[in-house]
A and B are shown apart, each in its own frame.
Chain A
Amino acid sequence: MRFSIYRYDPDTDSSPYMKDYDLDIGSKDMMLLDALIMIKARDDTLSLRRSCREGVCGSDAMNINGKNGLACITPLSSLKEPVELRPLPGLPVIRDLIVDMEPFFRQYHSIRPYLVNNDPPPETERLQSPEERAVLDGLYECILCACCTTACPSFWWNPEKFVGPAGLLQAWRFIADSRDQATSQRLDDLEDPYRLFRCHSIMNCVDACPKGLNPTAAIGEIKRMMVRRTV
């Protein structure tokens, strides 16, 4: 099976290039990450991030045949040859398939991704009804792999100002949480032509998300809540 992989080492290469690798794979009954580990065993200069190898840590997000995804949960059988692998678009490349996630996490931190609750902590825990808890389904599962945000042209053009789909999904996750008390401040912070309204609902994020989440719907909920408090 043929792989064409983006290679760039800023210490030695003047510009990035694509390098081909041929692997003898008996059956395609394995994941792309397995193939990458086989390639790395042969050429240990190839750099990539990976950790849990089961789609939970979000380390091995990359651009696979033009679409962002996690190598560890992408079956080889689903890929057309040659398999073209590139780093996530829109973030600075550190080396090969490794990108600098700093701009992504800076936006994530900016939405205050934690519960804000000024009541004294109860003896045991802050309880939710099953219905209140159910609201968080489809929001809490985000693993922050950055597949969605780096598939978003609005984030490519304004990475310093636009929060991006992952950050906005998390913003809604905390607004929607019955235990959070900072709804007004969160909405104030997001009501900005750049932070929220660069989203034009093109839904690249939904298409890219390897966990099947829907950031566009979450952004819609934030806008709906803003309409409710404005109109």
Chain B
Amino acid sequence: MVKRNVVGAHYGITGWLMQRITAAIMALFSFIFLITVLSLPHMDFKAWKALFSHGWLKTGMALFFLSLFLHAWIGMRDILMDYVHPTGMRLALQVFVILSLAAGMIRAMTILWGR
């Protein structure tokens, strides 16, 4: 077989843009969350639990985790593209990363909305 360098996948800008947008969302929510937590009169488990009874905070937290998932995926894919050169191994690792992140995402949602 002829050994060719194959490039020209014609994607990349969406991921690059998403990485930046998700970073901005995470930074913004982290800031809001930090302010909210610091402005609590006292901090104990009850106050923490009450904080998470607010719908806006749960939704914000869910968006934060969604951003984290996408951001981490793009970052991990970049690392694997940089350093892991055998295609099969790169694909396997990418699948592993997606599954781990998806599992973490499901777990986060269960914690947020579970009983």
Interface residues in chain A, defined as those with a beta carbon under 8 Å from any beta carbon in chain B: 153-154, 157-158, 160-161, 188-189, 191-198, 200, 223, 226-227, 230-231
Contact = CB atoms under 8 A, between A and B. Distances in A.
A196 B17 contact: no
A231 B21 CA distance: 13
A9 B12 CA distance: 42
B56 interface: no
B8 A192 contact: yes
Interface residues of B, number: 16
Interface SS of chain B: helix
A189 B12 CA distance: 12
A157 B83 contact: yes
Interface in B71-115: 78, 81-83
B38 interface: no
B14 interface: yes
Contacts of B83: 157
B7 interface: yes
B10 to A, nearest CB: 5
Contacts of B48: none
A196 B8 CA distance: 10
Contact of A223 (B11, B16, B82): B16
B17 A231 contact: yes
A227 B12 CA distance: 10
B79 to A, nearest CB: 10
10 contacts: A160-B5, A161-B5, A192-B7, A192-B10, A192-B11, A192-B12, A193-B11, A193-B12, A197-B78, A198-B82
A141 to B, nearest CB: 27
B9 A192 contact: yes
Interface of B: 5, 7-17, 78, 81-83
Contacts of A161: 5, 7
Contact of A157 (B8, B10, B82): B82
A198 B15 CA distance: 12
B40 to A, nearest CB: 38
Contacts of B14: 230
B37 to A, nearest CB: 33
Nearest to B13: A226
Contact of A193 (B5, B9, B17): B9
Given A226-B13, A227-B13, A193 B81 contact: yes
Given A157-B83, A227-B17, A200 B10 contact: no
B106 to A, nearest CB: 27
B94 to A, nearest CB: 12
A196 B12 contact: yes
A194 B7 contact: yes
A48 B95 CA distance: 47
A146 B12 CA distance: 25
Q: Which 6 A-B pairs have the closest CB atoms?
A: A226-B13, A197-B12, A193-B12, A160-B5, A157-B82, A192-B7
Contact of B81 (A160, A198, A223, A230): A198
